[in-house]
Structure 1
Amino acid sequence: MGKSIFFVINTLQGGGAERVLSTLALDFHRHKVPVTIICLNYAQSAYKLPDDLKVIYLVNRKDQSRIFRLYYAIIIFLKLTYLLYSKKPGCVISFMTTANLWSGLSSMLTKTNFIVSERTTPEHTINKQNSLLKRCSEIIYRHALAVVLPAKGIEDCLRKYKGFEDLTNCKIINNPVGHLGNLSGNRVNERKFILGVGRLSYEKGFDQLIEAFANLNIRGIDLLIAGEGQEYAALEQQIRKLKLNKNVKLIGSKENLQDYYDQAELFVLPSRNEGYPNALIEAMSLGCPCVAMDCEFGPSEIIRHQKNGLLVQDNNIKDLTAAIYKILNNPILKNKLATNARQINTTNSLKNISYQWQKLIFSPEISS
């Protein structure tokens, strides 16, 4: 298909959905598929993209008042509709609920093929909408060529809501393992360490990880948490309260995460909810033994308990502590989990996941 593919998302500022979209767009671009990324709002991109991969920003929203939100919404809709009408892309692919709404409406108006993708639990996205927006989502998702979801659990949750229970166009495509960069060989921490990676927000559950680490009471090992977010101050206070200042470090965002995954004793995902956790598959790809809370959604579709990682009951800090202790004190189990974890490089390879997307996009009903 000679026509271009439009990827639509709110921003490329950072996050799991943003990383997957930019990774896919870059892979398509490398394979000479004409690609344009459209960001509804301007923000500094967290991802390095080549100069010849076109990125269009529809607005640079600064004022958050209600009247300006309405103004920006109208501008976004008009600009996106004009782009689809004038450029006539072969297919529009949007990530996340807000982008799905705007791209769906514009695509239906301009008779453009479109695919929508939810990336996390509908409890925090579609189900939080008012009745009008929820009804719009129902109509848009029914008219989409496909509703792509990274985990089967998200599909099952989506179907619980009236209006979505009988969708016939759902498609599961997992997240790809991205290439983080080459290992530097430089030590990132003086002592052995446990690693957590993600946005510092309540749903990521790093407070649970810090509490579990405190319960371990093991000398000579640190806990490093990589990421930024609104919970930084609260986590810092928790660390001081538990007198863990010397052992628990909030290290911010890191461009060399591959070195941290490679050198960590184990990786812990303490999330209260997920979509399909990128940090978990990144850690596994580098052979880092993993422990994950069995939250909704994703971990149970990635980890086979006792085979390539350990799953613990959601929100059970006692079990989380026990699982961490078990890996640290069982070198045979640790080596087994590390070895099997690397198989994620095959199942979730960019080549494999990109092929699934291209097979969907270039199917006869879309290409015609």
Structure 2
Amino acid sequence: MNSQKKISIVFMIPTLSTGGAERVISFISQNLDSKLFQSQLLVIDKKENSTFNIEKIPVTYLNKTRVLHAAPQIIHFLYKQKPDIVFSSIGHLNTLIGILSPLFKNIKFVIREASVVSVMQKFSAKKSIGKNFLSKWAFSNVDKVVCQSIDMANDFKNLYDLNDTNIVIIGNPITSGQPASIKKKKTPSNTKKFITVGRLSKEKGHHRVLNVLARLEREFSYLIIGDGPERANLIEQMDRLGLSDKITHIPYTDNVNYYLSENDLYLQGSYVEGFPNAVLESCAAGTPVLAFAAPGGTNEILEHNINGFIVENEEAFLKCLCSDKEWNHEFIQNSVYSKFSAQIILEKYQNLFTSLC
């Protein structure tokens, strides 16, 4: 291709509602080098359901509630736009893109997986397409699969019988900009301030965090940011365990980074994570993380006793909650910026896209 021609990329995503994948795709699509790439975003959902503001690139909304219903419009859009690369993210859209890809011989197709599929299936109420012929065939058609962690890559490769050459591992970027100066944390008296950010769903393990906190004998406050299907169950559990007066729940806020920096320890109860953005952002704010060991990218972000704790069970979790370890907050911050800064991750994506063309 002409070296002076920009590489045109269509980023596709089911929705721009609140979520880690939505935030990452919004960020990457808008921040590639504009001298080299010409990006646009195609959203299956309606514009009024979006919580992310896209200003730097064109956005097209297909106004469909289901991915499959958008197939004719996607085909028409790609025939009209003729991009060099299509980059999609999340479940059924990735499968559809793999099915449609043979129709477009001159387009390179890249999909981004967002979870450790075989483990997430255990927590899903929906019947999964799983390891069947259609999904295996669809994913064999795409040019590259982006996974955020080694665990995710190995799981996807084994589940769908893909070769190592089909898969590239790229973690998520820190989207909060350059490292902010860290002010000394001020905790009144001996009260420890804990925080968790994320969807209130079973795989996130909020319930086991609450069980451990009910056994904690020191003074603490706990802020939970997020919403989801387990909200009512968790509120009932808080009441039953006598924790309601110590816990504050905020369904949604634009000031997550502020709250992360204002707390002493981030708590993650997850049974599985693709790549935990909130853990990454907590460390970027200089706040250490206490997490259960789980498949996914947690152990690629956290280093035990360096920028947090990774534990195997509730007893070890409780022990760490009782710890008065003195943390080097600047070191915690640097531990993630050195690997996952926006500049580093964007460069990896740019190298991938350039190599495909």
- Specify the alignment match of 2:26 in structure 1: 22
- Render the CA deviation track for 1:118-166: whole Å, top value 9, x for unaligned: 11011136995347x83232223222221110000011112333x4154
Secondary structure of residue in 1 paired with 2:237: helix
- Specify the alignment match of 1:230 in structure 2: 229
- Specify the alignment match of 2:54 in structure 1: 49
Structure 1 gap ranges (5+): 62-68
In the TM superposition, 1:38-117 aligns within 5 A as 38-42=42-46, 44-50=49-55, 53-61=57-65, 73=68, 75-111=69-105, 112-117=107-112
| 2:202 is aligned with 1:202 | yes
Structure 2 gap ranges (5+): none
User: Take 2:242 and 2:170, find their aligned partners in 1: how far apart are those partners?
Assistant: 43
User: Take 1:31 and 1:179, find their aligned partners in 2: how far apart are those partners?
Assistant: 23
Contact 2:182 2:330 in 1 (8 A): no
- Render the CA deviation track for 1:284-321: whole Å, top value 9, x for unaligned: 001101111111111112112122211011xx222211
- The offset of 1:180, in angstroms, is 7.1
User: Take 1:262 and 1:255, find their aligned partners in 2: how far apart are those partners?
Assistant: 14
| 2:352 is aligned with 1:360 | yes
With normalisation by structure 1, the TM-score equals 0.85
In the TM superposition, 1:103-252 aligns within 5 A as 103-111=97-105, 112-123=107-118, 124=120, 129-130=128-129, 134-161=132-159, 163-179=160-176, 192-219=192-219, 221-252=220-251
Contact 1:11 1:40 in 2 (8 A): yes
| 2:315 is aligned with 1:318 | yes
- Render the CA deviation track for 1:319-339: whole Å, top value 9, x for unaligned: 21111212xx222xxx14762
- RMSD after superposition: 2.7
Contact 1:91 1:113 in 2 (8 A): yes
Contact 2:6 2:36 in 1 (8 A): no
Distance change (3 Å), C-alpha of 1:105 and 1:49: same
Secondary structure of residue in 2 paired with 1:287: coil
- Specify the alignment match of 2:342 in structure 1: 350
- Specify the alignment match of 1:305 in structure 2: 304
User: Take 1:88 and 1:134, find their aligned partners in 2: how far apart are those partners?
Assistant: 30
- The offset of 1:9, in angstroms, is 1.2
2:226 counterpart letter in structure 1: G
Residue identity (%): 26
User: Take 1:288 and 1:142, find their aligned partners in 2: how far apart are those partners?
Assistant: 41
- The offset of 1:4, in angstroms, is 1.9
User: Take 2:59 and 2:187, find their aligned partners in 1: how far apart are those partners?
Assistant: 37
